[in-house]
Structure 1
C-alpha cells in the first residue's frame, strides 16, 4: 500500500489557534512524522469564535450559518488556507507533494443525543484556496448513525501506542477544552470516551478574571488552595456515572461548575486550583469504567503543559505511571493535527475512523466528506 503525504489541521475547543502537522502514512502505519506549527488566533478572532459559539446554541439545523456563525466560518476557512500556505512556504514544501488535507474545522455545537454536531469551516472553499484535496466534516456520519461523534483521535492514538514499550494497558489522555481518554491493550479496536471538562473551564475563568488566555504552566493554581467540597459536588453530576461511550459539548459543565464550585466567591488562585483539581478528579472517575486500570497514562493536549494539573493527575491516578506525551517521545503539540492527517488518509482508503468502542457507533465507520479543488491542479493519485 502506498504512503500518502497528508497535512492535518486542528482548531480545538480551547480556541487558541490552528495546529498544523504533516504526516506520511498509509492510514495504518506511520511512516514518517513531518514538521508541525501553530498559527495563533488574534484576540479579535477569538472574540468572533466566542460569539459564534454563543449563537450556535440556538441551532437546530447543522447546515445553518446565521449571524456570527457564518461570519466565523468564513474567517476560519480563510485563516486555515493562509496557515497552510505559510506552513508550506516555511518548510519548503511544494503543494503538489501533498496528497490530502484533513480539516477538522471549529466545533461550535455538539449535541450527539440530538444527532446534532456542527463544525464550521468550508471544506470545498479550503480545497479551492489551497489547490489540495480536503477531507472534512469527519464527525457527521458517526452522529447521524447514532454515535457520539467523539472522540475521534483514538484511532490515531492506537497507531502511536504501537511504537511504545511502556507497561500496558496504556491510557492516552488528551486534555483540550474537553478531556478524552483512549484505552489500549492489544485489542483490535481502541476503547475511548470523553472524561469531562479539560482546559475550557480553567481558560474561561482566567480570561474572565485576568484577561489571560490560560493559567500558564498552572502557576496560579500552584499558589491556590483546592476546595475539596466543591470538587465533590461537581462529581455528583450524572455524566460521571455513565459508562462509555459518552461525549460532551465544550460548555456542558460551565454553569454546573460555576454553581457547585462557587467560583464567583474564590480568588484567582483558589479558583484555578479548584478547577485543575476538578479536571484531575473527573479523569479519575473513568478508571472504574475501563476494561482494567491502566498501568501507563500518557497526557497530551494543552493540559500536558500545566504542571499543577499534571501533579494532580499523578496523585489521582497512582500507582499508574503518568507522563506527558513529550516525555514518551511524541510531539505533544502536534498530536491532534497529526491525527486529522491520519484520519484523512483512512477516509480516502475507506478505513474506519470510529468504532462501537469509541463513539458507540453501530459498527466501525469511515467518515468525512472529500472536496476536490474545482481547478484541477494535477493528475490524481491512485488510491
Structure 2
C-alpha cells in the first residue's frame, strides 16, 4: 500500500475496562484525515467479561484458548456490515511490562484476516517495546491528526480516560507528529479500571453508572495522599502503566463505605491527571476528554476544579469520544501499511521514530 492514496480503514479497540469492542471507519492516507465513517459497538456479555478478566496478567505461553475464542468471536461479529480496505486490530491487552516481559495483546490477526477477507494490521506495540519504548500510549499520532482536523492553532491536550488514563500534549503549529516539539504523551495513572473493579467486587456491577455512587460519597484525603506518594508520579515521561499496576488503590479504600470508596478512587484518577499536567511543555489552551471517563460527571467536575483551563468532551469539537481509540488504530494501520512511524521518543520513549504492527493478508 505505497503512496498517499486515501484508504477506507476500520479500527477495532477493546480496552482494559473490558466493556466490549469499538469499531470505527476512517478515510485517511495515514497523515491527513479525510472523513470519519460509521461506527459501532459489540459489548461483552457478563460471561465473556469473566473469561477475559480471568486471563488478565497472563502471557503467550499460558493456556488462553477460551479467552482467545472470546476475542476473535467478538471482533468478527463487530465487523459485520463493514467492507474495509484495511483493518487495524488492537486485540485485548492482558499484560504490559515494557521493562520486563514485554507486552501482550491477545488476538490472532492471521485468523481475523482470513475470516473477514481483508488485510489486517495487528500486534502494534511489540516492536516499540523491543526497541526500548514503553509501547504506550499509541494514539498520540492520531491525536495530532485530529488537532489538525479541528484547525487548532494553540497547544492543547487530549485526555483519554479508559481503563488507564493517558494524555497527549500537542503543538498544532508543527507540520508532522515527528516534528521536534510536536508531541508529548504518557499514561497519567489509573482511570476507570480500578473503579470498575471496585464496583464489581462490592456491588456486582460493571461500572459506576454516571458517577452515581461516587456522588453520594466523601473523598478520604488520607488515602488520596497515600496514592499520590506512589513513585510513578515522580517519574518523568514518557511512561506507561499496566491495567493492574495500581491495585494498591483497592487496599487504600478497603475500610471505606462503598460510596466513600468510589468517591475517593474517582478523586485519585483526577489527581493523577493533575499531577501529569505538570509535565506539559506549556499549559494547554484546553483539554479534550475521550474514553468512558468523560461520561462520569463526578470525574469531569473534579478535573475542571483541578485544572486551569477548559475541560470538555471531544464532542465539543465534533469528534466522537467513544470511538477515538478505534479510529486511532484505523489510522495507525494505514501508517503501518505505508511504512510510516507510529511512535517516537516523546510518545513512548523509544529511541527513534519507529513503526509497529504486523500486516496479515488473506490467502
TM range (shorter): over 0.9
Q: Return the match for 1:297 from 287, 304, 326.
A: 287
**Partners of 2:42 and 2:77 within 8 A in 1:** no
**Alpha-carbon distance, 1:78 to partner:** 2.1
Q: Return the match for 1:12 from 15, 31, 40.
A: 15
Map 1:153-232 → 2, pairs under 5 A: 153-164=139-150, 168-185=154-171, 186-187=173-174, 188=179, 189-232=182-225
Cα distance in 1 between the residues matched to 2:154 and 2:100: 36
Cα distance in 2 between the residues matched to 1:184 and 1:139: 21
Partner of 1:264: 254
Deviations 1:201-231 (A, max 9, x none): 1111011111111111111111111111211
Deviations 1:232-254 (A, max 9, x none): 11000000010001000000001
Partner of 2:52: 49
- Alignment of 1:72 onto 2:58: no
**Partners of 1:166 and 1:296 within 8 A in 2:** no
Partner of 1:37: 40
**Unaligned stretches of 5+ in structure 1?**
89-94, 375-383
Partner of 1:316: 306
- Structure 1 length normalisation: TM-score? 0.90
Which deviates the most, 342-351 or 281-290?
A: 281-290
Map 1:246-257 → 2, pairs under 5 A: 246-254=239-247, 256-257=248-249
Deviations 1:325-361 (A, max 9, x none): 1122211111000000000000000011101000001
**Partners of 1:115 and 1:144 within 8 A in 2:** no
**Partners of 2:198 and 2:250 within 8 A in 1:** no
Which deviates the most, 268-277 or 284-293?
A: 284-293
**Partners of 2:88 and 2:329 within 8 A in 1:** yes
- Alignment of 1:138 onto 2:124: yes
**Partners of 1:168 and 1:296 within 8 A in 2:** no
**Alpha-carbon distance, 1:167 to partner:** 6.8
Q: Return the match for 1:370 from 346, 359, 362.
A: 359
Deviations 1:24-52 (A, max 9, x none): 00001101100111100000000000111
- Alignment of 1:99 onto 2:102: no
Question: Secondary structure at 1:332's aligned position in 2?
Answer: coil
Deviations 1:295-325 (A, max 9, x none): 21001000010010000000111x2111011
The alignment's C-alpha RMSD in Å is 1.2
Cα distance in 2 between the residues matched to 1:48 and 1:133: 28
**Partners of 1:78 and 1:126 within 8 A in 2:** no
**Partners of 2:19 and 2:43 within 8 A in 1:** yes
**Alpha-carbon distance, 1:166 to partner:** 5.6
Partner of 1:283: 273
Task: Give 1 or 2: higher helix fraction.
Answer: 1
- Alignment of 1:81 onto 2:73: no
**Partners of 2:136 and 2:348 within 8 A in 1:** yes
**Unaligned stretches of 5+ in structure 2?**
none
Cα distance in 2 between the residues matched to 1:35 and 1:272: 35
Cα distance in 1 between the residues matched to 2:221 and 2:290: 26
**Partners of 2:194 and 2:250 within 8 A in 1:** no
Deviations 1:140-196 (A, max 9, x none): 000000100000000100000113356732010000000000000134242100000
Would you identify which runs of 4 or more consecutive aligned residues in structure 1 move more than 6 Å?
none
Question: Secondary structure at 2:167's aligned position in 1?
Answer: strand
Question: Secondary structure at 1:35's aligned position in 2?
Answer: strand
**Partners of 1:104 and 1:119 within 8 A in 2:** yes
Structure 2 CA distance for partners of 1:115 and 1:53, relative to 1, 3 Å: closer
